[in-house]
Structure 1
Amino acid sequence: MSTSPEATVGAVPLDAVTDANLRRWMPLTLLAASLVVAVTDTVLSHRSADAIPFRVAIPVLAGVTLLAAGWTWVFHPSVRGRPVTYFLVRLVLTAILVGLNPWYGIYTWYAYVEGPNYLPDRLVYPAMGGVAMIASASYIGGYPTTPVLIVVWLLLSAGSFALVRFVTGVVRKSREQEIERGRMLEELTATNQRLEETLAENRGLQNQLVTQAREAGALDERARLAGEIHDTLAQALTGIIRQLEAADRTGELAGATRPHVDQAAQLAREGLSEARRSLQALRPGRLEGSTLPKAIQGVAAGADLPVDVDVTGPVRVLPTDQEVVLLRVVQEALANVTKHASATRVGVTLTYLEDAVMLDVRDDGVGFDPDAVGERPDGTGMGLTAMRDRLARVDGTLIVESTPGEGTALVATLPCGAPVTAS
């Protein structure tokens, strides 16, 4: 059982100190009580013809009692740590005291308590037999001097020893059971602690497996969509463009003006460009074997206008789906700037915070009204909606700050866990 710091003296629990003091003071208290009763008995019986004069008896009783008290005080096992020597001398002094006055049986019985605590197992029962003989002598008024008293004394000694042995066995068995229960409790506590650690480790592994499965599923879904776009939409647009070019070469579309045909060809080319850009977005090749800042720098290098990339904070690896989303936001934002903003420069800032990652894309273009972005016919609204949808899937947010004639700023924020420095 643990104890609080207030319940200790040095490194010894307070209850252990209290128990040691009790064991040291108890025999002294019993000696004092025995001396008082024995002196009283001596005074009351000194008138008898065969009684030892109390002027002699009392000093002898007091002297032996003080000797026993001094031995207990100086050589008690809690002080000297020699229990066998202490107990044997204590037994001899007890026998002398009972011989002087039977009332020292008051002091004798405590030897039954001290013996099992201070003696090794091989000496416990012989010592208890000696204590039983001394105690039995006190029962019959002193050591026997006649055959009858000797028989009675031996019978009482045997009965007392049998009773003490039985009680001692029960106490020892109880103590052994208590020690065994304590050991089992410690083992159970250690087992529970190991089980909790294992469960915590399993929960961590499970979360890691779920994250990996989600990332793998997202990558597989992106690959599937990319394949479908390539096999259907991109192929169809490519076929339309080739058919229009073939018809133009063969003269099937001859004429002075053909605005509808030219517009259809232009729309098909733009649709094919968008399809290819979507394919690139679904296949994040730039992130394979690279970090997010390097991937963003690669996208910026391929843009049609100057782009400044700045990274602040300790770079760390994010989950794949989060890095893909941020990369796509950069790609979509730069595509919108190129098509609609008429900007001369763009700044991209990637900021790693303690619990979040922020991405800023700012341009010096013509700007627009964010509240009316959904009504724009040039498709800008669709691009911002796609960004918000992407960010929402990873618990991110997008803030758009723009004023006509004063440029545009996009701020994407993703919450994330503790920093993990990228290698």
Structure 2
Amino acid sequence: MSALGIDPVAEPSLRRWMPLALLAAATLIAVADTLILDRGHERLPFIFGVTAFTATWILVCHPSVRDIPSTYLVVRLVLTAVLVGLNPWYGIYAWYGYVEAPNYLPERLVYPATGAFALIASASYIGGYPTTPVLIVVWLLLSAGSFALVWYLSRAVIKSREQEIERAHMLEELTVTNKRLEETLVENRGLQSQLISQAREAGVLDERARLAGEIHDTLAQALTGIIRQLEVADRGGELAPGPRPHLDLVAELARDGLAEARRSLRALRPGQLEGSTLPQAIGDVAQRAGLPVEVDVAGAVRVLPPDQEVVLLRTVQEALTNVTKHAGATRVGVTLTYFEDAVTLDVRDDGVGFEPDTVGMRADGTGLGLTAMRERLARVDGSLVVESAPGEGTALVATLPAASKVEVV
């Protein structure tokens, strides 16, 4: 709206029909004034004629009907001047020009048009256009006062509107900010639940791996040794010929114990590894990471000892968790490579990166995941290499030596 707008509602229907209502009211009063005071009867035809033309002009050429706002207002100004000249009571219709001028004219024409309407309205105050010097002075003073009052009120209304618009914008921004905060809180709650679930799962996996390692390295190995020693003694003739029920029972119990140990080791394998190979388990973890992850496998896939497979699977989980939480990456690649003498696991992302030298020393507490990876890999004689720089993504390379050839499980 222009600088002198004083229409606080600015409803199209109000602006469309208000001029007609004011014109009708002014006409009724003007005709009544003429008939009651019994003067100016000769002007009645002109009053009716100009009023009819003005009403037609409003109906046909109003800006709500035709796109000629400047032309409409110029003709409306001339017709208003003529009507006030015919009867001062048409000042009732003249004042609405203060409202229409800012709405229908370019800003550069608003002040001249407002001044012209002030002159017309002031003429109605003094009973018509002035004919003496004194009346001319009074007319000009009233016009200046009317213009100043309209300008002041307009500025007050415009300032109030600007404040309302500013408050509306602030409220809209606050609404958007609150919505983003709610979305962030929901996302954080989901991430926290995911991290808690992964931490709980990691604890279970670590305990399973520890128990599997204990059974593998102690009970299963001992039973295997007993069975092999008995077989060697039997083949070497160290055992006396004839019935030997106790030795046979020892061998049978050892074999049963070894079978039970193998069953326990299979049961202790992580859920993802149960009935699946390590590449399949890694692919399942990647699908649940919450971001695009490409998994590749190179070399001849072979079964690793349970503790090694658990460590590699846990390393992938921890690495993808770190990427989701800190990296802001759009692409992640996981590569599992089987060499003859080693197995390597690469996890690479295109995220924000970091300074590897600061791991474990950052104030925000990050870096502990990498420390846990190193400790877990060290338990199976593995190692972890971290390559990263700010803005250049991150690459983690976990390496495990070739598994023992002893077929225990």
Q: TM-score category by the smaller chain?
A: 0.5 to 0.7
Deviation at 1:269, TM superposition (A): 1.2
Q: 2:210 aligned with 1:221, yes or no?
A: no
Q: 1:83 to 1:216 in 2, by over 3 A?
A: same
Residues 347-362 of structure 1 correspond to what in structure 2 (within 5 A)?
Answer: none
Match of 2:53 among 45, 67, 86: 67
CA deviation vs aligned residue, 1:302-335 (integer Å, no higher than 9, x gap): xxxxxxxxxxxxx999979xxxxxxxxxxxxxxx
Q: Is the 8 A contact 1:99 1:143 kept in 2?
A: yes
CA distance in 2, matches of 1:198, 1:111: 53
Deviation at 1:199, TM superposition (A): 4.3
Match of 2:67 among 74, 81, 99: 81
> How many residues are aligned here?
276
Tell me which amino acid in the other structure corresponds to 1:20: P
Q: 2:134 aligned with 1:148, yes or no?
A: yes
Name the SS for the 2:137 alignment partner.
helix
Q: Is the 8 A contact 1:116 1:168 kept in 2?
A: no
Other-structure match for 2:160 = 174
CA distance in 1, matches of 2:46, 2:235: 143
Match of 2:112 among 98, 103, 126: 126
Percent identity between matched residues is 68
CA distance in 2, matches of 1:318, 1:169: 62
Other-structure match for 2:102 = 116
Q: Is the 8 A contact 1:291 1:317 kept in 2?
A: no
Other-structure match for 1:92 = 78
Name the SS for the 2:11 alignment partner.
helix
Q: Is the 8 A contact 1:99 1:142 kept in 2?
A: yes
Deviation at 1:72, TM superposition (A): 0.8
Name the SS for the 1:287 alignment partner.
coil
Deviation at 1:263, TM superposition (A): 2.0
Deviation at 1:41, TM superposition (A): 0.7
Q: 2:8 aligned with 1:19, yes or no?
A: no
Other-structure match for 1:234 = 220
Tell me which amino acid in the other structure corresponds to 1:107: Y
CA distance in 2, matches of 1:319, 1:185: 38
Q: Scaled by the length of structure 1, what TM-score is found?
A: 0.58
Deviation at 1:182, TM superposition (A): 3.1
Deviation at 1:244, TM superposition (A): 4.9
CA deviation vs aligned residue, 1:117-162 (integer Å, no higher than 9, x gap): 2222222222111111111111111111122212211111111111
CA deviation vs aligned residue, 1:201-237 (integer Å, no higher than 9, x gap): 4445444444444444433332221111012211232
Other-structure match for 1:343 = none
Structure with higher Rg: it is 1
Match of 1:288 among 277, 283, 299: 277
Q: 1:217 to 1:135 in 2, by over 3 A?
A: same
Other-structure match for 1:298 = none
Deviation at 1:290, TM superposition (A): 5.8
Q: Scaled by the length of structure 2, what TM-score is found?
A: 0.59
Name the SS for the 2:127 alignment partner.
coil
Runs (4+) off by over 6 Å: 249-253, 315-320
Q: 1:318 to 1:148 in 2, by over 3 A?
A: closer
Deviation at 1:103, TM superposition (A): 0.7
Tell me which amino acid in the other structure corresponds to 2:166: E
Deviation at 1:184, TM superposition (A): 3.4
Match of 1:37 among 29, 36, 44: 29
CA distance in 2, matches of 1:252, 1:119: 121
Q: 2:146 aligned with 1:160, yes or no?
A: yes
Q: 2:233 aligned with 1:262, yes or no?
A: no
